[in-house]
């Protein structure tokens, strides 16, 4: 990421409004004491002059807002378009400004939706003359959602500043022709709410640094499970059925679904004889038996570290122990382990459960741990169990997997140096939720997001350094998307903090090894 030349100070922000009526409507939205609404004038030449004036200011951020023409037939007057990029029409005479990419559009969309607006994100195109008829059709064919007469030239003055562009649709025909005055009033009425949303964006443009926790994202068990499904699709063709989510991540599941994987709740939902994959979280013996009864060619994508816990559960139970499984009720991994010996395994979810649990023989007690729990939480529970059952037997090695431990250590170290932490992961991902809790234990606010669009700008108001981590089931590409979005708030550097290096690999099941 290049080093910008803008001063380190956060000197407020400028909101450009081409028309006086737009400027007046935006001022009613109270863009905040640090925000200046600047009436810039309509058209290319006035916008170029205004951009030169803005360039020499030390404003911390630059936004353009006003009305525009809708290019998508689905847009209606009053709908809002948040620009993902702003470009000049290809036929513009003379020097054309470069396309301005606006990475924070998804976050700004969320802020505007909170204001009650109907919002779309996509390209905005600027022309140097009114666009009518066939011209608008040509612009719509480029994928642009809205057209205006100023944004490309006004944002040419954004330099290295965080920038944003919001246009409220005033018409979906010729740009602001006389018959659209009623639609224009509808569009202008939305601008105060636009200003309020832009204020949230501007308050978050204090961001200067992203600190990336490493390791993060996919672990070896997740990579193996995803590859099992991909190989099964290659070998057998779609559909390939997967019991439950292969890993707990919406992006992974959506991608594999597009490629022909079918995710089902149980093996009873799989057509008899169809290729079936067991997820990375493992299954109980009862599920394996049900699959065999339906003659399902099953491929086991269970993480080897989860398989280890299953093996320990059987061994302890066969030894006559009461097995205390530390985990979360309803999690697929926990359900699978409980199924190894339901009569001998008891679930311990917290310290309270550890204090209350009763066993048949206090001298024959062992414990196991769900692989994705927080290390500190488990230590507290085990301490209580050891005090109650001095002969408590432990697993031969840690059940919490290396990836969980490493990611928790990394996020703890990063959180201590940040004003806020974002953890990329889906809501049903246990290890991702634990990362949020670990960061919060350092006293740093932390938030779980499924992607960049999930970032609430209010979390980042006044933040200068934000930490980013990701659960073991979150794709690295989503982390890259988040970092890119944060650059739209002024993040000038993205530095990596490595707590430990990982080089673990797991062999594929024999069914897909070729």
Closest CA to 287 of 262, 254, 265, 304: 265
Alpha-carbon distance of 421 to 437, in angstroms, equals 11
Count how many domains the chain has: 4
pLDDT value of position 33:
65
241 and 179 within one domain: no
Which CATH number is 154's domain given? 3.40.50.1580
pLDDT band at 514 (very low <50, low <70, confident <90, very high): confident
Which residues are marked as active site? 333
Q: Please check whether residues 160 and 20 belong to one and the same domain.
A: yes
In angstroms, how far is the first alpha carbon of the chain from the final one?
41
* CATH number of the domain enclosing 441: 3.40.1010.20
- For residues 19 and 150, membership in a common domain is answered with yes
Domain boundary among 324, 358, 388: 388
Question: Are 59 and 191 members of one domain?
Answer: yes
**Same structural domain, 244 and 279:** yes
Buried b (16+ CB within 10 A) or exposed e, 336-374: bbbbbbeebbbbbbeeebbeebebeeeebbbbbbbbbbb
Residue span of the structural domain in which 379 resides: 309-388
CATH label of the domain that carries residue 242 = 3.40.50.11270
Residue 215: pLDDT band by 50, 70, 90 thresholds? very high
Assess whether 155 and 292 both reside in one domain.
Answer: no
In this structure, the strands spanning 322-326 and 345-348 are parallel
Which of 202, 208, 207 is CA-nearest to residue 59? 202
pLDDT at 96: 85
The pLDDT of residue 369:
97
Do the domain assignments include residue 319? yes
User: pLDDT band for position 171 (50/70/90)?
Assistant: confident
Residue 471 lies in a domain: yes
Residue 45 lies in a domain: yes
C-alpha distances (whole Å) from 232 to each of 48, 107, 242, 277, 299 are 57, 37, 10, 8, 8
Q: Do residue 383 and residue 485 come from a single domain?
A: no
Distance between CA atoms of residues 248 and 289, nearest Å: 24
Instruction: List phi, psi (to 5°) of 478.
Output: -70, -35
Query: Over the stretch 70-103, which tens digit does the pLDDT of each residue have?
Result: 999 899 999 999 999 999 998 887 788 899 999 9
CA distances from 337 to 282, 411, 439 (A): 8, 28, 29
Q: What is the pLDDT of residue 12?
A: 82
Q: Are residues 125 and 160 in the same domain?
A: yes
In this structure, the answer to whether residues 29 and 125 fall within a common structural domain is yes
Residue of higher predicted confidence among 4 and 366: 366
**Does residue 76 belong to any structural domain of this protein?**
yes
Task: Tell me which residue of 61, 66, 415, 485 sits closest to 212, measured CA to CA.
Answer: 415
Is 486 inside any structural domain? yes
The string of pLDDT tens digits covering residues 292-317 is: 999 999 999 999 999 999 999 999 99
Sorting pLDDT into bands at 50, 70 and 90, what band is 4? very low
* 291 and 314 assigned to the same domain: no
- Do 190 and 248 belong to one domain? no
pLDDT computed for residue 173 by the predictor: 65
Say yes or no: 54 and 197 in one domain. Answer: yes
Gap between the Cα atoms of 314 and 221, Å rounded: 22
């Amino acid at each position: 990421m290049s080093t910008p030349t803008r001063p380190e100070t956060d000197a407020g922000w400028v909101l450009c409004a081409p028309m006086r009526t737009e400027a007046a409507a935006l001022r009613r939205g109270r863009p905040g004491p640090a925000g200046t609404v600047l009436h810039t004038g309509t058209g290319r030449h006035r916008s170029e002059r205004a951009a030169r004036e803005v360039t020499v200011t030390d404003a911390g951020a630059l936004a353009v807002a006003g009305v525009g023409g809708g290019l998508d037939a689905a847009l209606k007057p009053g709908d809002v378009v948040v620009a993902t990029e702003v470009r000049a029409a290809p036929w513009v005479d003379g020097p054309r400004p470069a396309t301005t990419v606006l990475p924070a559009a998804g976050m700004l969309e969320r802020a505007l939706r909170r204001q009650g607006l109907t919002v779309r994100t996509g390209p905005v195109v600027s022309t140097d003359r009114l666009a009518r008829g066939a011209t608008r059709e040509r612009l719509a064919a480029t994928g642009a959602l809205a057209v205006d007469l100023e944004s490309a030239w006004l944002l040419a003055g954004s330099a290295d500043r965080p920038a944003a562009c919001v246009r409220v649709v005033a018409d979906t025909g010729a740009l602001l022709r006389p018959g659209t005055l009623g639609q224009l009033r509808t569009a202008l009425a939305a601008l105060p709410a636009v200003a309020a949303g832009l204020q949230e964006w501007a308050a978050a443009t204090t961001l200067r640094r992203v600190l990336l926790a490493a390791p993060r994202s996919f672990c070896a068990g997740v990579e193996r499970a995803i590859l099992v499904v991909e190989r099964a699709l290659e070998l057998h063709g779609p559909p390939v059925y997967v019991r439950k989510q292969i890993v707990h991540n919406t992006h992974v599941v959506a991608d594999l679904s597009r490629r022909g994987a079918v995710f089902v709740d149980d093996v009873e939902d799989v057509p008899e004889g169809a290729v079936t994959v067991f997820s990375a979280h493992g299954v109980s013996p009862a599920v394996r038996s049900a699959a065999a009864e339906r003659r399902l060619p099953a491929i086991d994508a269970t993480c080897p570290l989860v398989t280890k816990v299953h093996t320990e559960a059987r061994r302890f139970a066969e030894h006559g122990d009461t097995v205390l499984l530390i985990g979360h009720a309803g999690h697929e991994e926990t359900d699978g382990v409980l199924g190894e010996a339901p009569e001998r395994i008891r679930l311990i979810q917290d310290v309270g459960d550890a204090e209350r649990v009763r066993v048949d023989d206090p001298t024959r007690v062992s414990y196991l741990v769900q692989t994705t729990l927080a290390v500190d939480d488990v230590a507290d529970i085990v301490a209580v169990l050891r005090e109650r059952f001095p002969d408590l037997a432990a697993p031969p090695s840690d059940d919490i997997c290396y990836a969980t431990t490493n990611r928790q250590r990394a996020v703890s170290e990063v959180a201590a140096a940040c004003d806020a932490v974002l953890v990329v992961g889906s809501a049903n991902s246990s290890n991702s939720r634990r990362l949020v809790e670990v960061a919060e234990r350092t006293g740093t606010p932390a938030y779980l997001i499924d992607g960049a669009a999930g970032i609430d700008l209010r979390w980042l108001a006044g933040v200068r350094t934000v930490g980013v981590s990701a659960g073991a089931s979150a794709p690295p590409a989503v982390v890259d998307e988040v970092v890119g979005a944060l650059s739209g708030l002024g993040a000038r550097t993205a530095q990596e903090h490595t707590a430990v290096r990982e080089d673990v690999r797991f062999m594929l099941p024999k069914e897909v090894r070729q």
